[in-house]
Structure 1
Amino acid sequence: MAKPSQIRVFEVACPDCSAILRIDAETGLLISHTPAPRKRTFEDLAAATKAMREHEERKESIFRQSVEAEKNKSDLLEKKFAEALKKAKDAPEGRPLREFDLD
């Protein structure tokens, strides 16, 4: 067995997660893994609070829009139905022509 002073170890930074990997040169096995330090999402508590308020306002706005859309849904569906009925009356009667029938 090799003495601790004779062991060759490589330290490699992971290109994906920036973790530090210690690898034994002789065997190529991983000796240790040191995870990369986590990045802070916000610099301070005030910024985090502001982001949270903006997120809540955005959720509330989306909810209000969905309520308004639901209120007008029946009118929209009636208009779509009337338009489809009008198209069906204007369409020629009989079976539609297919490319196969034209040969």
Structure 2
Amino acid sequence: MPDHPEKGGVLEVTCPCCEARLTVDPVSGAVLGSEKAAHARAGVDLKDAQRVLEQETARIHERYDQIVQTEKGRGAVLDKLFKTHVEKSKDEPAPRPIRDIDLD
């Protein structure tokens, strides 16, 4: 999926795996050019390794807490949705099961 609308008849796409930027001809599908992604650890000195690890650990914990909060909310929403459907279905008669002979 292109990151930007067409620019002069070419598409600029970011690779989802390595985050490299590719310039693609939409007609032929040929890659016209590419730029490697700048990695966060490329310019890090060994002296800064402790700080980088602490930052990554903090980012991981933050993301984990965010996922936990999302899942807690999701469970409550699904529970509420289930209860409303159960209440609606109490008044309706049970549907008659479809038998193989009914399909002929």
TM-score range, shorter chain: 0.3 to 0.5
Return the TM-score normalized by structure 1: 0.38
Larger radius of gyration: 1
